[in-house]
Copies of this chain bind each other. A is one copy, B any other.
Amino acid sequence: MILVYDIEERRVVKMLKLCRQYLNWIQNSVFEGELTEVKLKELLHKAKKIMNIEKDSVIVFSSRQEKWLDKMVVGKEKNGLDNLI
C-alpha cells in the first residue's frame, strides 16, 4: 500500500505524525506499508479530521499482493527504520 498526501503546510505536521503511526515514511509526502482494511479505514477517518477536504488530498494505491508491485529508487533513500517512533 502506498499513501501520498498533498496537504497545506500548517496541517502537514499533524498528518505526518498520523501516517507514521500506520505506515513507513519513504519520501517527503509518501508512505508505504501493509494495512488491513480496518486499519486503513481508521487511518483515513483520522486523516479526514485533519484535512481540509476542499484543499488537501490523500491518495492510496493498493496492490492485493506485494509481489505485484515493483519499487525502484533513484537518488537518496530515507532510512527504512524511521517508522520506529
Contacts and interface: CB of A to CB of B under 8 A. Distances in A.
Interface of A: 2, 4-6, 26-30, 44, 47-48, 51-65, 68-78
Contacts of A55: 75-76
Contacts of A27: 4-6, 57, 59
How would you classify the secondary structure of chain A's contact residues: helix, strand, loop or mixed?
strand
A56 B28 CA distance: 10
B56 A75 contact: yes
B75 A51 contact: yes
A4 B6 CA distance: 12
Contact of A69 (B26, B62, B73): B62
A47 B59 contact: no
